[in-house]
């Protein structure tokens, strides 16, 4: 029996795996110690648990445990990496290269630094959502200290060419930071093979709890340092003060261990379901895939259904299917997704997009239900859409003088 509602918004957050919750529970009650309490068994127990989790987290990304700084999540990790490098390497330069489809946690941090005197280059992406490597290299100057490019995009699921990016960075002696939130745990990420110097990621996108994440900071070749953004007791080797979220960290560790073991089989199964969904929805007339079809995450597809508006579309099934739209009709700005616009999509197509994020617990039955209900709603709304009628009558919508609001 199909249980509703169906959750297809795994890029926003994932449910905790029950095995993760099970691992966390003792650390709320019996083993509640502060990992920084060095003088009694409660503290030792907590510290031991944190150390173990640190190994689990490090292993997933091919890092050394000493290179893992626990944070409250990826937004904090993004802030710590970018601001921390900017401050630490101020004597070397003030120029940072990023791209215009980064998460707001990166873009807003860069905007913040601009006010403090940083020079930021925002690379455009190609229509497939990937950056142009020649443009990246051309943007590097003697003052460039950091390249901050996301591993995979949250809206369209495209995976950036990290190894090529880091090879260019190495050649010019520039550090590489990547927001790995969407990629870690979903596809193999190896900080050494990928040439990453700093990487932020978070537990709740990989079946762990919310409120805990990590920043990977390379310790050799080169040894990277960041200036702390939160001062206090000197936790996490002085880079991030604050009492450690022990149950969260334990859960994060367990989540990483499960991903390590099951990523490959999960990805294979989920990508088959994703392909089934995508192929069926792309059969709908005037529907378009957004982002590169090859270099992308296994569980994401982003599709625009021309001549229907995304939020209106979601209303047709959002009691039963949870997903996300590039239409920002609910936001005060009424601006559609800046990511889709950066791909060169017209506002009309950006307004018409849906993002499907599948996950570990997605079933084929759920996908069949989704195909049927999304298709029906698109058809129903097109019957109601003046744009669809014009399109069917052969009217070029670009020839109409619209009254802009």
Partner 1 sequence: MAYSEKVIDHYQNPKNVGTLDKSKNNVGTGLVGAPECGDVMRLQIEVDEATGVIRDAKFKTFGCGSAIASSSLATEWLKGKSVDEAVKIDNMTIVEELNLPPVKIHCSVLAEDAIKAAINDYRKKNGLEELQFEESPIH
Pull the structure tokens for residue 66.
């000493």
Partner residues linked to 70 by β-bridges: 214
Q: Where are the strands (E) in 61-104, listed by range?
A: 68-71, 95-99
Rounded to the nearest whole angstrom, what is the least distance from the CB of residue 381 to partner 1 in the complex? 8
Separation of alpha carbons 76 and 241, rounded Å: 12
Q: How far apart are CA 341 and CA 337, in angstroms?
A: 6
Closer of 116 and 389 to partner 1 (Cβ): 389
CA–centroid distance for 366 within its chain: 24
Residue closer to partner 1 (CB basis): 93 or 316: 316
Could you give the C-alpha distances from 290 to 122, 244, 278, in angstroms and in order?
21, 40, 11
The residue (of 2 and 384) whose beta carbon lies closer to partner 1 is: 384
Q: For residue 359, give the nearest of 264, 278, 289, 273 by alpha carbon.
A: 273
The C-alpha atoms of residue 92 and residue 99 are separated, in whole angstroms, by: 22
Closer residue to partner 1 (CB): 364 or 389: 389
Contact 12, 357 (CB under 8 A): yes
Q: Is 329 annotated as catalytic?
A: yes
CB of 335 to partner 1, least distance (A): 9
Provide, rounded to whole angstroms, the least separation between the CB of residue 205 and partner 1. 24
Shortest CB 75 distance to partner 1, Å: 23
Q: Which residues bind partner 1 (CB under 8 A)?
A: 307-309, 311-312, 315-316, 327, 329-332, 334, 336, 346-348, 351, 383-389, 397, 400, 402-405
Enzyme catalytic residues: 329
């Amino acid at each position: 029996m199909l249980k509703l509602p169906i959750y297809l918004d795994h890029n926003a957050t994932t449910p905790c795996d029950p095995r993760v919750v099970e691992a966390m529970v003792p650390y709320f009650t019996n083993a509640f110690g502060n990992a920084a309490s060095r003088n009694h068994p409660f503290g030792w127990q907590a510290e031991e648990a944190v150390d173990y989790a640190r190994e689990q987290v490090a292993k997933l990304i091919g890092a050394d445990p000493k290179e893992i700084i626990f944070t409250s999540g990826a937004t904090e990790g993004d802030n710590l990496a970018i601001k921390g490098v900017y401050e630490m390497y101020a004597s070397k330069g003030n120029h940072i290269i990023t791209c215009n489809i980064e998460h707001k946690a990166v873009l807003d941090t860069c905007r913040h630094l601009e006010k403090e005197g940083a020079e930021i280059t925002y690379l455009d992406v190609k229509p497939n959502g990937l950056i142009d490597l020649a443009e990246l290299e051309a943007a590097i100057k003697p003052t460039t200290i950091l390249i901050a490019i996301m591993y995979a995009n949250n809206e369209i699921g495209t995976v950036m060419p990290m190894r090529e990016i880091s090879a260019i960075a190495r050649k010019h002696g520039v550090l590489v930071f990547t927001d790995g939130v969407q990629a870690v745990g979903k596809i193999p990420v190896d900080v050494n093979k990928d040439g990453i110097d700093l990487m932020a990621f978070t537990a709740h996108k990989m079946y762990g709890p919310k409120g805990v994440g990590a920043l990977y900071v390379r310790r050799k070749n080169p040894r990277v340092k960041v200036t702390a953004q939160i001062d206090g007791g000197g936790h996490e080797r002085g880079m991030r003060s604050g009492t450690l979220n022990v149950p969260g960290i334990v859960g994060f560790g367990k989540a990483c261990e499960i991903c390590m073991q099951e990523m490959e089989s999960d990805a294979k199964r989920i990508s088959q379901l994703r392909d089934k969904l995508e192929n069926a929805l792309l059969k709908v007339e005037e529907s378009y895939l957004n982002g590169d079809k090859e270099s992308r995450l296994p569980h994401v597809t982003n599709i625009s259904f021309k001549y229907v508006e995304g939020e209106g579309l979601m209303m047709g099934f959002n009691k039963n299917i949870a997903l996300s739209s590039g239409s920002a009709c609910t936001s005060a700005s009424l601006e559609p997704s800046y990511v889709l616009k950066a791909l060169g999509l017209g506002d009309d197509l950006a307004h018409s997009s849906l993002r499907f994020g599948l996950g570990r617990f997605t079933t084929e039955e759920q996908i069949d239900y989704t195909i049927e209900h999304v298709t029906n709603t698109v058809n129903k709304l097109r019957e109601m859409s003046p744009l669809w009628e014009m399109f069917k009558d052969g009217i070029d919508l670009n020839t109409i003088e619209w009254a802009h609001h």
